[in-house]
């Protein structure tokens, strides 16, 4: 499996690369920004693309739209530090099959990759909690 990881933080990239190697991902392609991710996606035809939302120049949403123009079937996962109803909706509308908070990546990245590869949607627990609290504010999760 070929996975493209785009994040402007070398620390985050190293952490994700370690998780992917532990999961026996064969090829890991690394990009430092959205424009590089678009270029590398076109050159390498990855099985899954993981994009950070907040990158210099071109954010993850814009990069996803550009990748979708060339390869509409490529599974996409967005990772971000914060969840908002707007960002989750925008990501899903842009074609992301996965949405993970960075704090959930260690536990959920491999599950998200497997889900999006088979056409399912995956929203990490932290992001799901933000949606739950937004739409059911009187309900409290333990």
Structural domains in the chain, CATH included, are 2-135 (3.40.50.2300)
Q: What is the average pLDDT across 57-73?
A: 94
Contact 25, 1 (CB under 8 A): yes
Q: Does 137 have pLDDT greater than 70?
A: no
Q: What's the pLDDT at 116? A: 96
List of E strands, the chain: 2-6, 27-31, 48-52, 76-80, 98-101, 122-123
Q: What is the average pLDDT across 19-45?
A: 93
- pLDDT-derived band at 5 (thresholds 50, 70, 90) equals very high
- Mean residue pLDDT of the chain comes to 90
Q: Does 140 have pLDDT greater than 60?
A: no
Reduce the DSSP state of residue 126 to 3 states and report it. helix
**Residue 24: left (phi > 0), alpha (psi -120 to 50), or beta?**
left
Q: What's the pLDDT at 139? A: 55
């Amino acid at each position: 499996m070929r996975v493209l990881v785009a994040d402007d933080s070398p620390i985050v990239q190293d952490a994700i690369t370690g998780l992917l190697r532990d999961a026996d991902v064969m090829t890991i392609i690394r990009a430092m920004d959205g424009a590089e991710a678009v270029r590398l996606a076109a050159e390498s035809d990855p099985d899954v693309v993981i994009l950070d939302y907040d990158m210099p120049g071109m954010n993850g949403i814009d990069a996803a739209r550009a990748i979708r123009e060339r390869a509409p079937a490529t599974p996409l996962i967005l990772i971000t530090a914060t969840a908002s109803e707007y960002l989750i909706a925008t990501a899903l509308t842009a074609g992301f099959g996965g949405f993970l908070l960075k704090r959930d990546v260690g536990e959920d990245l491999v599950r998200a990759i497997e889900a999006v590869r088979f056409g399912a949607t995956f929203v990490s627990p932290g992001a799901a909690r933000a949606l739950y609290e937004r739409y059911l504010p009187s309900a409290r999760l333990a």
